[in-house]
C-alpha cells in the first residue's frame, strides 16, 4: 500500500477535493517517485500546510480518489471531508524531511517536493518517529528501547493484557504493534541455552514462557487489525512471521512434536497468503513462503512414526509445496528485478539473493544420490544420465551462478582463477549467503555433471574438467571461514562429498585418508561412516587385485 502526502500553502481551501501541481513541480515529483506512481495502490492522502502563516496547524487525512496528469500537471483528487490527526505540521514536516534524507530521496539542505509518495514501511517508520511517547519511568522512549534491542523493556511497558484492555493503549495500533514486535523477538527459541533445549524436562518451563510471549504478540496483532484495518497487511505479516519463525526454530532445535510444527506451518502459510492476496508484490512474503515450501516442507512432513499411507500422503504434500514454492521464489526475483528505486532495491537485496540461493540449492539437492544409489553407481549397477538429472543440474547451475556473481562481482569461471581464496575473503561483506554453502552446492553440481557424463561419448578430458571443478569447490568450502563470525557448523558433510568424488574418480586411498579421522569418533553420522567403509573396501580390493 502507498501513502500520498501533500504539502500545501496556506491559501489552500481545506474543503477542496483536488490539488494540482505546476508543470515544473510535476517533473520533480515524477523524477523522484515515478516507479511508485506507475504502480500506485493508495487509499489515503495526508496533507498539511506549509509557509510562514501555517505554523502549528494540524495534519489532515482524507480518502484518495484518483491521480492523473492534466495538461502536463499532476492532479490528485480526494474526498473533501478531512480527518484531523494529532500531529502538528511543523513536527510532521521535520520527521518527514529526516525520513526522505535517510532514504536518499533528497539530500540534506534540499527542498522537499510538494507531493510525496511513501511505501508502507516508510509510512510505518514515519509514524514511529512521530509517536516517541515517553513510556518508561526512566524516560526512555520506544525508539530508544528499540535501538538498544531492549525487547523486554519495551514489552513490559504494556503491563498485563487485562490492564492494557482497560487503558488508552488498547486503541493505539502503532504502540500495540511495537509491543507485539518486541514479544515476537522474545519468543524465539534461540533465547534458550542449547543444552537446556536438548533436555526435555529442563526446557518445559522456558518453552512455556516463550509460548506466552508469542501468544501475546498474536493477541496484539489481531487487536491492531480490529482498530487499524487500513494497515491490515502489516499486522498479518507480523502474525505470519511468528508462525514462520517458530517452524524454523522447531526444525532447528527439535523442540516440539511434528503435529504442532505442521499446524504452525499451515498458519504461517495462511497468513502469508492473505498478505499476498492484498499485495502480491511483497518480496519478503514471497521469499519466506517460497523458502518455507521449498526448503522446509520436506522436514515438516517427515514423520517416522507415520504408517505407509501417511508417508505417501506426506510425499505428495512435499511435491506440491516444493512446486508452488519455486513459483513464489521466482516471483520474488521478478518483482525485485523490475524495481527501479535504489532504496527499495537495497532494502530487499537479501531476499533477492536468498531466493536465487534457495532455488540453486534445491535443484542441486535433487541430484544428490543416497548411499545405496551411489554404491550401485560405483559398482556399475546404476546409470545416471536421464533428462531428470540433466535438467536439475542445468537449473542448479543457472541459479547458483547468478547467486555467486551478484555477491562475488565476477562470473563462476573466476572460482578457478589464481588468488580466488584471497579475493573471495575480500568480498565477504557483500555476501548474504554463506560463500561456503554456495561453493558446496557448486561442488555437488559439478559432480552431478561428471556423473551424467560417465560412460558416454564425452571425452575423458571434459569429464576430468568437471571432476577438477567439483574438487576445487569442495576444497575451498573446507578451507574458508564462515562469514557468520560465531558459526561453528562442522564441515564433515563437505568432506564426505569430496570423498565420494575421489571414489568416483578411482582415488580410493584419498577418500580413506580424508574420512579416517571419523571412524572412531562418537556421534558421527552413519552416512559418513558408510562412505568411509565403502572407500576402505574399494581400496583393499584394489590392492588385492
pLDDT above 90 covers a percentage of the chain that reads 57
Cβ atoms of residues 2 and 53 within 8 Å: no
Q: What confidence score (pLDDT) does residue 140 get?
A: 61
Instruction: Enumerate the H helices of 409-525 as residue ranges.
Output: 420-426, 435-453, 460-479, 492-504, 508-515
Question: pLDDT tens, 265-287?
Answer: 999 999 999 999 999 999 999 99
- The H or E element spanning position 344 is helix 342-347
| 185-189 long-range contacts, CB within 8 A, separation 24+ | 185/149, 185/151, 186/151, 186/152, 186/155, 186/210, 186/213, 187/211, 187/213, 187/214, 187/217, 187/242, 187/246, 188/245, 188/249, 189/246, 189/249, 189/250, 189/252, 189/253, 189/255
The pLDDT value recorded for residue 138 is: 42
Query: What pLDDT is stored for residue 139 in this prediction?
Result: 47
pLDDT at 270: 98
User: Based on the number of CB atoms within 10 Å of its own CB, is 335 exposed (0-12), middle (13-18) or buried (19 or more)?
Assistant: buried
Enumerate the H helices of 187-339 as residue ranges.
Answer: 194-198, 204-227, 232-253, 258-278, 283-291, 297-300, 308-337
Q: Write the CATH number of the domain with boundaries 2-130.
A: 3.10.590
Those residues whose C-beta lies under 8 Å from the C-beta of residue 170, and which sit 6 or more positions away, are: 164, 176, 223
Query: CB count, 10 Å around CB of 117?
Result: 21
Whole-model pTM above 0.85? no
| Helix (H/G/I), strand (E/B), else coil: 173 | helix
What tens digit of pLDDT does each residue of 440-490 get? 999 999 999 999 988 788 898 999 999 999 999 999 999 999 998 778 889
| Bridge partners of residue 77, in order along the sequence | 18, 66
Phi first, then psi, for residue 176 (nearest 5°) are -60, -35
Structural domain 133-279, CATH architecture: Alpha Horseshoe (1.25)
Task: Write out the chain's pLDDT in tens, 545 residues.
Answer: 788 999 988 777 878 888 889 888 999 999 989 888 988 888 889 998 887 666 667 888 888 999 999 999 999 999 888 888 877 888 888 889 888 988 888 887 788 999 999 988 888 878 777 765 444 434 467 778 888 889 999 999 898 898 889 888 899 888 999 999 999 999 998 888 878 877 778 888 888 999 999 999 999 999 999 998 888 999 999 999 999 999 999 998 887 788 899 999 999 999 999 999 999 999 999 999 999 999 999 999 875 445 455 556 678 889 999 999 999 999 999 999 998 888 889 989 999 999 999 999 999 999 999 999 999 999 988 777 678 899 999 999 999 999 999 999 999 999 999 899 999 999 999 999 999 999 999 999 999 999 998 878 889 899 999 999 999 999 999 999 999 877 888 999 999 999 999 999 999 999 999 999 999 898 899 999 999 999 999 998 876 65
Dihedrals phi, psi of 458, to nearest 5 degrees: -65, 135
**Residue 20 CB coordination number (10 Å):** 16
* C-alpha–C-alpha distance, residues 378 and 503, integer Å: 8
Q: Which pLDDT score is estimated for 456? A: 81
Amino acid at each position: 500500500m502507498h501513502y500520498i502526502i501533500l504539502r500545501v500553502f496556506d491559501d489552500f481551501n481545506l474543503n477542496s477535493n483536488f490539488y494540482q501541481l505546476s508543470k515544473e513541480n510535476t517533473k520533480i515529483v515524477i523524477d523522484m517517485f515515478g516507479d511508485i506512481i506507475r504502480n500506485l495502490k493508495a487509499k489515503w492522502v495526508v496533507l498539511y500546510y506549509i509557509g510562514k502563516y501555517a505554523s502549528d496547524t494540524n495534519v489532515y487525512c482524507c480518502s484518495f480518489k484518483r491521480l492523473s496528469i492534466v495538461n502536463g500537471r499532476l492532479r490528485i483528487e480526494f474526498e473533501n471531508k478531512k480527518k484531523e490527526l494529532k500531529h502538528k505540521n511543523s513536527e510532521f514536516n521535520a520527521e518527514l524531511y529526516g525520513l526522505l534524507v535517510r532514504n536518499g530521496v533528497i539530500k540534506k539542505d534540499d527542498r522537499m517536493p510538494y507531493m510525496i509518495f511513501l511505501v508502507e514501511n516508510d509510512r510505518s517508520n514515519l509514524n514511529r518517529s512521530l509517536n516517541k511517547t515517553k513510556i518508561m519511568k526512566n524516560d526512555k522512549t520506544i525508539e530508544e528501547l528499540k535501538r538498544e534491542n531492549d525487547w523486554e523493556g519495551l514489552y513490559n511497558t504494556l503491563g498485563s493484557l487485562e490492564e492494557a484492555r482497560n487503558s488508552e493503549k488498547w486503541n493505539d495500533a502503532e504502540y500495540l504493534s511495537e509491543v507485539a514486535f518486541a514479544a515476537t523477538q522474545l519468543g524465539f527459541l534461540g533465547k534458550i541455552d542449547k543444552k537446556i533445549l536438548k533436555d526435555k524436562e529442563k526446557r518445559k518451563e522456558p518453552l512455556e514462557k516463550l509460548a506466552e510471549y508469542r501468544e501475546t504478540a498474536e493477541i496484539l496483532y489481531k487487536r491492531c487489525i480490529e482498530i487499524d484495518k487500513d494497515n491490515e497487511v502489516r499486522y498479518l505479516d507480523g502474525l505470519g512471521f511468528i508462525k514462520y519463525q517458530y517452524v524454523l526454530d522447531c526444525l532447528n532445535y527439535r523442540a516440539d512434536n511434528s503435529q504442532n510444527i505442521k499446524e504452525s506451518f499451515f498458519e504461517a502459510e495462511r497468513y502469508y497468503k492473505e498478505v499476498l492476496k492484498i499485495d502480491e508484490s511483497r518480496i519478503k512474503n514471497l521469499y519466506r513462503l517460497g523458502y518455507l515450501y521449498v526448503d522446509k516442507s520436506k522436514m515438516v512432513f517427515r514423520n517416522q512414526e507415520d504408517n505407509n499411507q501417511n508417508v505417501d500422503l506426506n510425499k505428495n504434500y512435499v511435491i506440491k509445496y516444493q512446486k508452488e514454492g519455486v513459483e513464489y521464489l521466482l516471483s520474488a526475483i521478478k518483482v525485485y528485478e523490475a524495481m527501479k528505486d535504489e532504496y527499495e532495491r537495497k532494502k530487499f537485496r537479501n531476499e533477492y539473493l536468498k531466493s536465487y540461493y534457495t532455488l540453486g540449492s534445491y535443484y542441486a539437492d535433487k541430484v544428490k544420490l543416497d548411499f545405496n544409489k551411489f554404491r550401485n553407481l560405483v559398482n556399475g549397477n546404476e546409470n545416471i544420465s536421464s533428462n531428470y538429472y540433466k535438467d536439475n543440474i542445468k537449473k542448479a547451475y543457472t541459479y547458483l551462478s547468478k547467486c555467486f556473481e551478484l555477491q562475488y562481482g565476477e562470473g563462476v569461471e573466476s572460482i578457478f582463477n589464481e588468488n580466488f581464496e584471497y579475493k573471495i575473503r575480500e568480498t565477504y561483506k557483500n555476501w548474504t549467503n554463506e560463500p561456503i554453502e554456495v561453493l558446496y552446492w557448486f561442488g555437488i553440481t559439478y559432480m552431478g555433471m561428471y556423473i551424467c557424463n560417465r560412460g558416454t561419448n564425452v571425452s575423458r578430458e571434459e569429464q576430468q574438467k568437471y571432476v577438477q571443478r567439483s574438487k576445487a569447490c569442495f576444497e575451498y568450502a573446507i578451507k574458508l571461514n564462515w562469514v557468520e563470525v560465531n558459526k561453528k557448523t562442522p564441515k564433515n558433510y563437505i568432506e564426505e562429498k569430496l570423498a565420494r568424488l575421489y571414489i568416483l574418480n578411482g582415488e580410493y586411498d584419498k577418500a580413506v585418508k580424508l574420512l579416517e579421522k571419523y571412524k572412531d569418533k562418537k556421534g558421527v553420522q552413519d552416512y559418513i561412516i558408510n562412505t568411509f567403509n565403502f572407500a576402505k573396501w574399494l581400496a583393499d580390493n584394489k590392492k588385492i587385485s
